[in-house]
Structure 1
Amino acid sequence: MTSILFRFLANAVALAAAVWLVGDITLGEADASTGSKTVTLLIVALIFGLVNLIVKPVVKLLSLPLLILSLGLFTLVINALMLMLTSALAGDAFEVDGFWPALLGGLIISIVSWAVTLVLDND
């Protein structure tokens, strides 16, 4: 249970870093009644986590030949596509304007999520 919570918090921090560092990735207001960017960020992190849990393994399996040929670098493209899918599912709450910002955002999210998980997870 704590592992899921750590992964959720790592995704939220990583998404916040991507929004902060990449100008074409924006975070809007998901719910006008709360008016809080933190709530919006947590909702987007939940959507991103579900996309990575459900869709990403299927896409990785289907693109296995490309992953082998590119020695794993195609994973960056898959991460960008998962970020763009999250943007499509989140609507106005989270927007990614194009593939290149998504690629850079996916790279940032991967690095920050790995670092936060490394710091928080003491197992």
Structure 2
Amino acid sequence: MGFLIRLLINAIALWVTTVIVSGIDVTARTAGGQAATLLVVALIFGVINAVLKPIIRVVGCVFYIVTLGLFALVVNALLFLLTGWVAGQFDLPFVVTGFWSAFWGAIVMAVVSWLISIVIPDRSERS
């Protein structure tokens, strides 16, 4: 159940990101197609973050320390850009155009996801 809640939170955050950040778009024609695309892209985003982010943190530990954590913004942007590329490989109507769109998209997505998580905490956080 926690996985589904997290997936929905990411999908909603992704939708807000497409509304706020120019250069990040869902080009599906129907509302159902857009919702399905957002859910699948949220899943891709979650898998990419779960697999690659810990590896990048270990390998890039020195960069995180030297830049006082600002390197994390670049890593998040690159992971968001990778999510757009993977979505394109699956012919999903999701587009991320360029590094700066991915940079601001990753920031907006993180903030919105965090805000939603405050309102709807995971079951493990309630105990």
Same fold per superposition (TM over 0.5): yes
Correspondent of 2:33 among 29, 33, 36? 36
Q: Where does structure 2 lack aligned partners over 5 or more consecutive residues? A: none
What is the root-mean-square deviation in Å for CA atoms of aligned residues?
A: 1.7
Partner of 2:69: 72
Kindly tell me the number of residue pairs found equivalent between the two proteins. 119
Q: 1:28: Cα distance to partner?
A: 2.6
In structure 1, distance between residues paired with 2:63 and 2:7: 29
Partner of 2:14: 15
In structure 2, distance between residues paired with 1:93 and 1:86: 12
TM-score (norm 1): 0.89
Match of 1:26, SS state, is strand
In structure 1, distance between residues paired with 2:119 and 2:72: 23
Partner of 1:6: 5
Match of 1:23, SS state, is coil
Q: Where does structure 1 lack aligned partners over 5 or more consecutive residues? A: none
Structure 1 segments (4+ residues) deviating >4 Å: none
Match of 1:36, SS state, is helix
In structure 1, distance between residues paired with 2:93 and 2:51: 21
| Overall identity of the aligned pairs, in % | 39
In structure 1, distance between residues paired with 2:34 and 2:98: 22
Partner of 1:110: 110
Q: Is this contact kept in 2: 1:22–1:105, CA < 8 A?
A: yes
TM-score (norm 2): 0.86
